[in-house]
Amino acid sequence: MVSRKITNKLLFWLDGRTGGQKVGLLLLAGVLSAFSFAPFYLFPLLAISYPLLLLILFKSNRFLEAFSFGWWFGFGQFFTGLIWLASAFEVDDRYAGWVGYLAVAGLGTLLAMYSGLVTGLLWKLYKGKDPRQYGLSITLSFVIIWNLAEWARGNLFTGFPWNLAGYTWGFSDVMLQTASVWGIYGLGLLTIFLALIPYLLIQRPRKKYAAFKIIVAGVLISGGMVTFGMVQLSEPTNYRDDVKFKIVQANINQKDKWDPQKKAENFLKHLSMSKSLPDEGITHVIWPETAVIYFLDTEPSRRFLIADMLSENAVLMTGFPRVKRSPEFKAWNSFVVVGGGGEVRNIYDKHHLVPFGEYTPDILSDSLSFLGLGMLVEGFSYSRGKEIRTLHLEGAPPVGVLICYEIIFPGQVVNQNDRPEWLLNITNDAWYGTFSGPYQHLLQTRIRAIEEGLPIIRSAGTGVSAVIDAYGRMKKSLGLNKQGVIISPLPAKRDIATLYSTNGAWIFQLIMILLCIFNVLFHRQ
């Protein structure tokens, strides 16, 4: 129990801090909060950082100051949580190493606008009110506005839903399971509320049993998540006996990957690792995103080498760059299925591209060209594929293919008019370095499996490749920067569709509306 004497001392101490000291504390709080995400999962840091943000927020005297408090918090969180992005520049000889950190700071500057707007709006709503009399209302309002801002960040301006609050539960399969009901945004609602329980205890109203009720609410929410998760995970993983994969992780260095002098060597390495004995029963060989840099759709000689490697009735599924040279040059980040006769059976072009990594947004292309800038990472400037779609293959259930970045978007990973029975995520996480990026990307893949109730097969060039069941459980994996293969049958989809897969964001939106109504009814609490 947090005593009133201790809380009074804390509030008094915060009152005595200068504006610069408060900014420093919030920057530090944002940095600490980033360590609640993969691969660290230090969830208790959320229960320090978010309450500190609210305690300092209501020491501000004007809107811009309140906005800046949220901005500095967000900048610390985004810069630290996305520091892995600087690794992409370390493999590009056009840039000095420090340029990557400057780019991360630029992205953090933009993304922190969302958290600045949250605190600015919250301060506006409760300006002049005593936080001790409105503790619950302030908490609920923050939960609502913060998660609305996360939804906006994930959907506006092409979207970037990375390190959403709900991802902090990635250390526990059990605690992730409610994402099957209301998705990662709904899980974020619970996460932020639980993180603010210390704030409620500090600002609790002078009413009998108030602190007890707050603690009971936290226990009930946490207990409900645990109970639901345990029930879900009591279901075993079932497998299909008609599909057997060989997932190849060649672990080729990023600089070597696009080296014209090494492309033949890299191709032969994939071929060598993919060969199987007939009695292994491999039906699908899977290579990662742009595993080879040959234009496989127009180079039959390469496909014949692939066909020679494949065992009877098997196919190869791989990423490759696709180009069209006339009437104008275009390139796509693509996926192809090559049959046993060397024929092209299916092609999918990546739909959701990475801004500045795979294309330059039209609205900025002229300005950046004038400045001598454009693509931040060297390579093709890709065209956008038409849509997310389901591929119907011989010898396998319908599959939804997601290339790298496409897997991070909640509710946007399947064609709802032609739902697949499993998802395939091919990716090249060599760009992400070895710090936190690959683990954060892998976690998002697992959450998509839970949300959609579909198994996911993941092929990553340098790791982590994995077989993930429909409950987000990692059944087999090959770690970061390791060479090898995974051989596995296909896990089955859930027998009953998840609520999130059938209702999308409606449940999350309904909860937001109910929280708003509750907040109005119990405003002065």
Does the annotation count 350 as an active-site position? Answer: yes
Catalytic option among 22, 244, 246, 350: 350
Rg over CA atoms, the chain: 25
Phi-psi region of 313 (alpha: psi -120 to 50; beta: other; left: phi over 0): left
Tokens of 20: 């610069």
Active-site choice (404, 451, 452, 493) = 404
Backbone phi, psi, residue 403, to 5° = -100, 110
**Contact partners, residue 386, CB within 8 Å, separation at least 6:** 349, 351
**Alpha-carbon span 290 to 282, nearest angstrom:** 22
Of 22, 244, 269, 289, which one is the catalytic site residue? 289
Query: Active site includes 263?
Result: no
Long-range contacts of 374-381 (CB under 8 A, 24+ apart): 376/88, 376/89, 376/103, 377/88, 377/89, 377/92, 377/431, 378/92, 378/94, 378/258, 379/258, 380/321, 380/323, 380/331, 380/333, 381/331
C-alpha to C-alpha distances, 519 to 91, 103, 120, 210, 506, nearest whole angstrom: 50, 40, 19, 17, 20
Nearest to 191 by CA among 142, 120, 255: 142
Are 302 and 263 in contact, with CB atoms under 8 Å apart?
no
Starting at the earlier edge strand, list the strands of the sheet with 456-460. 390-391, 399-403, 422-427, 456-460, 465-468, 474-478
**Annotation says 406 is catalytic:** no
Integer Cα distance of 332 and 382 in angstroms: 5
Closest CA to 178 of 522, 507, 516, 517: 507
Tell me the C-alpha distance between 175 and 187, whole Å: 9
Angle, helices 210-233 vs 179-195, to 10°: value is 150
Locate tokens 């609210």: which residue?
A: 54
Active-site residues, by number, are 289, 350, 404
